[in-house]
Amino acid sequence: MKTAVSSANSSRLALVFADFKEITKARLAVSVVFSSIAGYLLGAVEINYFSLLLLAFGGYCMVGASNAYNQIIEKDLDVLMDRTKNRPIPSGRMSVNTAMFIAVLLTVLGLVSLYFLNPKTAMFGAISIFLYTSVYTPLKTKTPLAVFVGAFPGAIPFMLGWVAATNEFGVEPGALFMIQFFWQFPHFWALAWMLDDDYKKGGFKMLPTGKKDKGTALQIIMYTVWMIIISIVPAFGFTGRLELSVVAAVVIFIMGLFMLFFAFRLYEKRDNVSAKKLMLASVSYITLMQVVFVIDKFI
C-alpha cells in the first residue's frame, strides 16, 4: 500500500515538474541563460562564480515569467493550435491563478537576483518582460511587425551578461545585442514557416509577407547577411573591449555562410523541410558563435 502511494506521489510530482517546465519553456530558458553566461564571460575581467549563479537563476526566472504570462494571455488561442493545445493551461492541468502565481513569483525572484548583480541588469530584465508580455504578445494577432518588436527582448540576454559583469552599457553590449537581434529574424521566420498553418488557426501573423513566398524567403536572406556582418564587426576594432581575432572571425564567417546557404535553399524550394534545416542551422550558429567568442577571449 505504501509503495503504491509513494509511486502515485512520485508520478504526481513528475507531472507537476513537467508542467512547470512547459509553462516556463525550460529549453528556451536554458538557451537564454547560456547566452547570458557567454555575455558575462566576455565582459568579466575576473569571473565571480556567485555572480554567474545569480545571473543564471535570475535569467531563467525572467524568461520563465515571460513565458508564463504569455501562456496566460494566449490561453484561448492556444486551444486552437495543435502545437499548444496540450500546454498546462489550455489542457486544464493548471489553473490561470496557479500560472499567475508562478509568473509573479518568478518575476520577483528574477528581478531581485539580477538587482543583486547591479541595478542596470535588473532594469534590462524588467524591460525584457514588459516588451515581451505587454507589446510583443498582443501584437502577434495584429501585425507581422510583432516579430520586430519581439526581437528586442529576445536580443537582451547576450548583452545582459556583459552588463551583469561590468555594470556598464556601451558599444560592447550594444554589439552583442545587435548580433542576437539580427539572428532572430531568420531563426524565427524559419520556425514560423514550418508552423504557419497552425499559427493561422490561432490568428497569429508571424511571416513578414503573411505568406510562405519568395518575399519572406528574401527577407530571411537579407537579415542573415546582416547577422553575419554584425557578428564579425568586433574583428575590426570598432567595439571597444569586445574583440575578435582574425581566425575567430573567419570561423564565424564560415558558420554564417552555412546558415546563409540554407536560407538560399529555402528561397529556392520554399518548403517546410528547407525551413527546418535553416532553423536547426540557426540554433547551431548562435550557440557555436557564442562559444567561439568566449574561447577566442581566453586563448
| Predicted confidence (pLDDT) per residue in 53-109, tens digit | 999 999 999 999 999 999 999 999 999 999 999 999 999 999 999 999 999 999 999
Residue whose C-alpha cell is 520554399: 270
Measured from the Cβ of residue 12, the count of other Cβ atoms closer than 10 Å reads 10
Residue 36: the pLDDT is 96
Q: What is the pTM of this model?
A: 0.91
* Largest Cα–Cα separation, the chain: 70
Provide the Cα torsion 107, 109, 115, 120; round to 10°. -20
Which whole-number Å values give the CA distances from 195 to 27, 32, 77, 188, 189, in the listed order? 18, 22, 15, 10, 10
d(CA 217, CA 221): 6
If residue 175 lies in a helix (H) or strand (E), which one and from where to where? helix 171-194
Q: What gap in Å lies between CA 205 and CA 145, rounded to an integer?
A: 9
* pLDDT on residue 15: 84
Residues of the chain with pLDDT under 50: none
CA separation for the pair 281, 277 (Å, rounded): 6
For 92-101, b/e burial (b = at least 16 CB within 10 A) is ebbeeeebee
What the block records as the C-alpha cell of 32 is 537564454
Secondary structure letter of residue 133 according to DSSP:
I
